[in-house]
């Protein structure tokens, strides 16, 4: 059940970003070091997106569940992705965004 909810949240986030002029590149990129929910393109910039969903705020908002340790883990996955695609991390334009979904409210936090 949780994975179905996660998939629905990722689909909602993807559609939200598409409606805001981003282009879809890849979903659920998996590496030995972790996973990236969505990879999008904002003009010439790669956007790696972490999707967080909470049906209620009783245990904090979705955005509050994006932790420093989660960020570090995602940075390792991003570096792995760039190396796999033969893109130099120092010369590739990219950013990390969070799409936090609290019930029906979508909060797109850019460049976290």
Predicted model pTM: 0.92
Residue with more model confidence, 77 or 6: 77
Domains of the chain, start order:
2-109 (3.40.1350.10)
Tally Cβ neighbours within 10 Å of residue 13. Answer: 26
pLDDT at 91: 93
The residues that bridge with 46 in the sheet, in sequence order, are: 41, 94
Instruction: Spell out the residues 6+ positions from residue 37 whose beta carbon is closer than 8 angstroms to its own.
Output: 10, 13, 27, 28, 49, 50, 51
pLDDT at 99: 97
Parallel/antiparallel/unpaired status of strands 23-31 and 105-109: unpaired
Helix (H, G, I), strand (E, B) or coil at 94: strand
DSSP 58: B
Share of the chain above pLDDT 70, in %: 95
In this prediction, residue 1 has a pLDDT band, given cuts at 50, 70 and 90, of very low
pLDDT in tens, 2-56: 455 778 999 999 999 999 999 999 999 999 999 999 999 999 999 999 999 987 7
């Amino acid at each position: 059940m949780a994975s179905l909810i996660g998939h629905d949240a990722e689909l909602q986030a993807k559609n939200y970003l598409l409606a805001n002029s981003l282009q879809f590149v890849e979903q659920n990129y998996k590496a030995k070091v972790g996973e990236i929910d969505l990879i999008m393109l904002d003009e010439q910039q790669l956007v790696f997106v972490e999707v967080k969903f909470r049906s209620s705020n009783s245990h904090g908002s979705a955005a509050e569940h994006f932790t420093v340790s989660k960020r570090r883990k995602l940075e390792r996955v991003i570096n792995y992705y760039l190396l796999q695609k033969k893109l130099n991390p120092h010369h590739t334009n990219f950013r990390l965004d969070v799409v936090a979904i609290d019930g029906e409210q979508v909060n797109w936090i850019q460049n976290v």
